[in-house]
Amino acid sequence: MSDRRVIVVDVETTGLDPAKHTVVELAAVDLGTGDHRVIVPALRREDLAAASPRAWTVNRYFERRVYEQAMGESALNDALCELFGWLDGATLAGASPAFDAAFLATLFEDRCDAGVPTWHHRLADLSALTAAALQKDPLKLPGLDVCCAWWGVENEAPHTALGDAQATAECLRRLRAHCDDRGSVRPDYEGHQPASERYSASAAAEARL
Ligand SMILES: [Mg+2]
């Protein structure tokens, strides 16, 4: 396996639909170095018009005066171009990384001259990894607040991009330490030999009939 850079991302948004809503605040943490960036895009008239009122309640955009840090087009482009360098070829990690990835792709597409970075096609999902590592029901996926409780991490600023990204990063560090302590092997997938007995989904389905 390669030692790809792992970048933890969290976005706060104007709603849940990446086709309709947009990023109001983005934080990225380099899991290896702990270095972080916060990016606050200036919202356009159409972003405000399409926003879900519920989203403002969750992310407290106005209460926290996030808009005071809003970046104009040029500063936003520069910040996204820098983040492009972090994410291109990296593993994207998050508490709910598919959600973050969808919003990031649209943000880069719309507002970054460099276009959309190519992060690795497998996302590091704290929720799924935590359920598996702690031997919980793997299909009852815990939210970030539950992951933090299970890993003993305090989220100092929940529902802010940086608070959530840093809490996620700390959970991932503890998860990795937990796996190291357990002495779990680090398999070399390139040299992986298939098991002698192969699992057949169709045979298993037939057996259940
Ligand atoms: Mg968040």
How many Å lie between the centroid of ligand 1 and the Cα of residue 167? Answer: 10
How many Å lie between the centroid of ligand 1 and the Cα of residue 183? Answer: 32
Question: What pLDDT digit, counting tens, does each position of 127-144 carry?
Answer: 999 999 998 988 899 999
Q: Which domains does the chain have, with CATH numbers?
A: 6-181 (3.30.420.10)
| Residue-wise DSSP of 38-67 | EE-BPPPHHHHHH--HHHHHHH-TTTTTGG
How many Å lie between the centroid of ligand 1 and the Cα of residue 156? Answer: 12
For residue 32, the model assigns a pLDDT of 95
Which residues have their alpha-adjacent CB atom under 5 A from ion ligand 1?
10, 164
| Measured distance CA(41)–CA(22) in Å, rounded | 9
For residue 197, the model assigns a pLDDT of 60
First-to-last alpha carbon distance for the chain, in angstroms, is 39
| Measured distance CA(80)–CA(155) in Å, rounded | 25
How many Å lie between the centroid of ligand 1 and the Cα of residue 55? Answer: 11
Tokens of 130: 């935590």
pLDDT tops 80 at residue 189: no
Residue 3 — very low, low, confident or very high, per pLDDT cuts 50/70/90? confident
Considering only residues 24 and 207, tell me which one the structure prediction assigns the higher pLDDT. Answer: 24
The dihedrals phi and psi of 117, each to the nearest 5 degrees, come to: -65, 155
Span 134-158, average pLDDT: 94
Prediction pTM value = 0.87
Helix, strand counts (H, E) of the chain: 8, 5
Residue 8 — very low, low, confident or very high, per pLDDT cuts 50/70/90? very high
How many Å lie between the centroid of ligand 1 and the Cα of residue 50? Answer: 19
How many Å lie between the centroid of ligand 1 and the Cα of residue 160? Answer: 5
